[in-house]
Every structure is written in structure tokens, then in C-alpha cells.
A and B are shown apart, each in its own frame.
Chain A
Amino acid sequence: DTAVSQTPKYLVTQMGNDKSIKCEQNLGHDTMYWYKQDSKKFLKIMFSYNNKELIINETVPNRFSPKSPDKAHLNLHINSLELGDSAVYFCASSQEGTGWETQYFGPGTRLLVL
């Protein structure tokens, strides 16, 4: 069974559209994260949720909105997509989110905005 899964794996869309990426973890973890990996492979945290509560919200345009319906899911909604949003988005989870725990990553969603 996949520990952290993301859908879709690939997403190609036009500028201005609204899209969502879904993430699910079956590890029973309390904390989930979204990361953005740019074309230079730099990984930057975007959001972190612990038990459905937002605990990290880095400087990210408010076009990006995470939603956690339950602690096993953390979805990422992106409104009015821009060219610069093209990247690979990784979901991750950890047990408590204290910063010293191993994070388990999903396979990534490759977003291309045309």
C-alpha cells in the first residue's frame, strides 16, 4: 500500500484556471505538508497542517489554499494559475510535526501551466 499518495501525477493546464491537487496518507500521521520544488530542484515548504489545523503558512500567494477535511487528507487548491506556478508539488506527512521527525513524501504532482 502506498503510504503517501497524490493525484494527479501530472497536471497540464492553462493560465487563469483553478485546479486542485489531492493528497492522502495512510500512515496515521498527525501532520501533513505541502512543498514546492522549482525547476532548480529547490524544495520549499508551503504549508503544514497538524490534526486539520494550519501550523505553518510560509509566504505563499493567497491563490494557494490548503484544505484538510480530515487528518489523513491535505488538498491544495490553486486559483488563477500563473506561469510561475509550474513546478513539482510534494505532499508529505510526519507523526507529530515537531521538526525532528522523518517526513514521508508522496511521488509528487508535476504541474505545467501554459
Chain B
Amino acid sequence: AQSVTQPDIHITVSEGASLELRCNYSYGATPYLFWYVQSPGQGLQLLLKYFSGDTLVQGIKGFEAEFKRSQSSFNLRKPSVHWSDAAEYFCAVGASTGNQFYFGTGTSLTVIP
């Protein structure tokens, strides 16, 4: 069965510092991987997605993620965090068979000045 794990419930970084949010997945076939961001009181917005090809994926707002099959990971990175990046981040995996979409439990990001 598919599952997604986000080991960090909460992360605090200083503005301008680099960021890495971890995501591990469990899936028997090639996964389709996504990162969504949820700002306070808002819905979810897609940051980036990986289906195939280049394992380093660029997204919006300066985010990128790297798919590492050997580690079953799809970590999200940003070289320099802005205060507006404070939000909840969700990793998700889509099933290549059937109609399913699984979310991780989310990582809450706090950015301090």
C-alpha cells in the first residue's frame, strides 16, 4: 500500500537560511510525487511535481525537489527562505494504478526574522 512520511512535524528557520523538508514514500511501482503548500487559512497550492525524467524538479516560488529512488525520498529544498514561506507543506504520492492520492501528515514551517 502507498504511504507518505514526513518525519518533521515542525521546522523553524531564519529568514535567508536554506531549507530542506523531508519526504519518504512507500510505493511498489514508479510513484508520482507532489509537494503542496498550505498558507494559513488557505487551500492547498501545488509547488511542484515529479512524474518521470530529470530527478531534480523545479517548482514555483524558488522551490525545488529531488527524487531519489534508492532512498525512496522526495525532499523539498529552497536556498533562501522568505518570511512569506511560513506555511504548512504537504508531500503527496499519486498511484499509477487506480484513483488514489495519499498525503503525508505535513510539516509546519516557521520563519523567524
Contact = CB atoms under 8 A, between A and B. Distances in A.
A107 B100 contact: no
A55 B105 contact: no
A102 interface: yes
A105 B101 contact: no
Which of under 10, 10 to 19, 20 to 34, or 35 or more describes the interface residues of B?
Answer: 20 to 34
A97 B99 contact: yes
Kindly name the residue among B34, B49, B103 whose own CB sees the greatest number of chain A CB atoms within 10 A: B103
A56 interface: yes
B99 A56 contact: yes
Given A41-B108, A99-B32, A55 B99 contact: yes
B99 A105 contact: no
A42 B107 CA distance: 10
Contact of B42 (A31, A45, A56, A107): A107
The residue in A43, A48, A92, A104 that gathers the most chain B C-beta atoms within 10 A of its C-beta is A43
A34 interface: no
A51 to B, nearest CB: 12
Interface residues of A, number: 27
A99 B43 contact: no
Interface string B65-97: 000000000000000000000001010001111
A99 B95 contact: yes
Given A41-B106, A99-B94, A101-B94, A107 B43 contact: yes
26 contacts: A4-B43, A33-B101, A41-B38, A41-B88, A41-B105, A42-B103, A43-B90, A43-B103, A43-B106, A44-B103, A45-B101, A48-B99, A92-B44, A97-B99, A99-B98, A99-B99, A99-B100, A99-B101, A100-B95, A102-B34, A103-B46, A103-B101, A105-B43, A105-B45, A107-B42, A108-B42
| Leading 7 A-B pairs by shortest Cβ distance | A100-B32, A99-B95, A99-B94, A43-B103, A105-B43, A105-B44, A100-B94
Interface of B: 32, 34, 36, 38, 42-46, 49, 51, 88, 90, 94-103, 105-106, 108
Interface of A: 4, 31, 33, 40-45, 48, 50, 55-56, 90, 92, 97-108
